Amino acid sequence: MLMSRPQTDSQAAYRLLPSIDEVLRDPRAAPLEARSGRELLQRFAAETLEVWRAEIKAGRLDADRIVTLRAAGEPYLELERRARREEGRGVVRCVNATGVVLNTGLGRAPVHPEVAEVMAVAARSYDVLEVDRATNERNQRDDYLGELLARMTGAEAGIGVNNCAAAVLLLFNTFAGGREAIVSRGELVEIGGSFRVPDVMARANAALVEVGTTNRTRVADYESAITGRTGLVVKVHTSNFRVVGFTEEASPAELAELGRRRGVTTAFDLGSGLFEPSGAPPLAHLLGDEPLVVDAVKSGIDVVMYSGDKLFGGPQSGLVVGKRAAIAALRKNPIYRALRLDKVTLAGLEATAKLVLSGRAHELPTRRMLAATAHDLRPAADALAARLARISGLHVAVAEGASQPGSGSAPGILLPTYVVRVRHATLSDAELALALREAPVPVFTRVQEGHVLVDPRTLLPGDDADLVRGFEHAAGRDAGSARRSPA
Ligand SMILES: *Cc1c(COP(=O)(O)O)cnc(C)c1O
């Protein structure tokens, strides 16, 4: 019968598949099992056999081929590939060669090595966190951080929460929960990751009162919207876009004066939080009209908030400074308990603030990266190009380029740099970039017009070795193996 032969063939193929135990009995599996654990390997073996069964069913895998694959030890090799893929998941150190300094996808600000050490110690030990050493009584965990932030900014007081989004939520709920908050139409922004100011306000139980137009909002617009139900007037820095041309916005000082006169709390969400600490090369001239935290505080606004992992250069957090009474009100809100900092982050923020206050802000990695000129970066680009040019299959050249501050800090601002433009003999730009991301230490680059661009601005000390290894790994693949199918 015509149908019977393929049927017998597939039955023979199924019979030739190893069992899960047989796959795990491969002598090479022992060290793998020590790393990954038996249960995970059993799961990988089961998944592998599942794929093979599906291939047999689809007529793409026959008995002869299975004999060949087993002889080549392919079942074990597939376990190894799956184990390696598993190890590459989750939070893994990578090389940022994109030139985007505060790259949210790559974890924003890498902290100063001394800060990282303080964080590691806090993580593995008991810590004096919420207790007074003199009296042994409970106190507030971020009292000291608040003091450090106040010293840095000239504010009366400060607190820290999980991120700036948390600070915005806490702000609206504390001062406008069950009441109204006034925001300019031109500042109702979405800050990536579907964080929209109006949505956060709704969740904070604050009613939004929009004033002005997209391009122009005057103080008088805010004033005429104030009613008995107004709890808050908020200014939001439009971090990730800019309105140009015929524009007008109320200054922080004007809003502060309005708030004082009408008895309404005022706040400014800065997002990035630019500082110009003494002893550090200034950044303001590089970042356009990015507002300074100290200026926002000086304007008299009650509450000023910014991210700890943007221009401040610390671990992920939201930092809030301002008038003593306003900060105390935020702290009294029960929601604060749900948004508060963990001890590791808190230790990292204190350490970062102390570095800045002791005149060492210029050592912060992100500050150094932002301050570097194209002239400063040229030698690094040349040295990298020389090393990459030695890898076979790569065509390498140094060219002028542009880096970005990132994370909505200074939108539209580009920082002149030199990049290494790399092309592979057979891989496309996207294939090369993918192979780099899949290197043992992943390397992230920019892709432009058939080339992969390496920007030395965002490389940390020691990254160059992993970057070169990444290119060696990637160049070792040809176009065929980059597209290889799993089976
Ligand atoms: C980035 C940003 C936020 C969100 O900060 P996270 O720390 O990422 O939560 C809020 N507001 C503004 C204006 C921002 O730029």
For the whole model, what pTM was predicted? 0.91
Nearest CA to ligand 1 atom 6: 164
Answer positive or negative: Cα dihedral of 332, 335, 338, 341: negative
| pLDDT at 318 (0 to 100) | 98
Distance 57 CA to ligand 1 centre (A): 51
| pLDDT at 355 (0 to 100) | 97
| pLDDT at 485 (0 to 100) | 42
| pLDDT at 330 (0 to 100) | 98
Helix boundaries (H) for 401-484: 429-437, 463-475, 479-482
Nearest CA to ligand 1 atom 15: 271
Q: Is the pLDDT of residue 233 over 50?
A: yes
Percent of the chain with pLDDT over 90: 81
Give me the mean pLDDT over the 160-165 stretch.
Answer: 96
Residues having CB within 6 Å of any atom of ligand 1: 163-165, 168, 191, 236-237, 239, 269, 271-272, 307, 318, 407-408
| pLDDT at 4 (0 to 100) | 47
In terms of pLDDT, which residue wins out, 272 or 483? 272
How big is the CA angle at 323 (ends 318 and 324), to the nearest 5 degrees?
A: 95
Distance 242 CA to ligand 1 centre (A): 16
The per-residue pLDDT for range 255-272, each reduced to its tens digit, is 999 999 999 999 999 999
Backbone angles phi and psi of 24, in degrees to 5: -75, -15
Distances (CA, A) of 267 to 147, 167, 237, 255, 291: 19, 11, 11, 9, 14
Kindly report the average pLDDT of the chain as a whole number: 92
The per-residue pLDDT for range 276-299, each reduced to its tens digit, is 998 899 999 999 878 999 999 999
Give me the mean pLDDT over the 198-204 stretch.
Answer: 90
Architecture of the domain made up of 112-361: 3-Layer(aba) Sandwich (3.40)
Using 50, 70 and 90 to split pLDDT, how confident is the model at 1? very low
Give me the mean pLDDT over the 459-473 stretch.
Answer: 97
- Which atom of ligand 1 lies at the shortest distance from residue 407's CA? 1
The per-residue pLDDT for range 368-391, each reduced to its tens digit, is 999 999 999 999 999 999 999 999
Distance 187 CA to ligand 1 centre (A): 13
| pLDDT at 483 (0 to 100) | 45
| pLDDT at 409 (0 to 100) | 67
CA 249 to chain centre: 30
| pLDDT at 482 (0 to 100) | 45
Distance 271 CA to ligand 1 centre (A): 4
Distance 164 CA to ligand 1 centre (A): 5
| Fold (CATH) for 95-105+369-475 | Aspartate Aminotransferase, domain 1 (3.90.1150)
Using 50, 70 and 90 to split pLDDT, how confident is the model at 223? very high
User: Which residue, 425, 471, 433, 439, is CA-closest to 452?
Assistant: 433
Q: Is the pLDDT of residue 69 over 60?
A: yes
User: Which residue, 159, 146, 144, is CA-closest to 331?
Assistant: 159
* Of 171, 184, 195, best ligand 1 pocket probe by most atoms within 8 Å of the beta carbon: 195
* Of 187, 269, 349, best ligand 1 pocket probe by most atoms within 8 Å of the beta carbon: 269
Q: What is the spatial distance between Cα 470 and Cα 437, in angstroms, rounded to a whole number?
A: 8
- Which atom of ligand 1 lies at the shortest distance from residue 307's CA? 7
What does the domain layout of the chain look like in residue ranges?
A: 9-87, 95-105+369-475, 112-361
Using 50, 70 and 90 to split pLDDT, how confident is the model at 2? very low
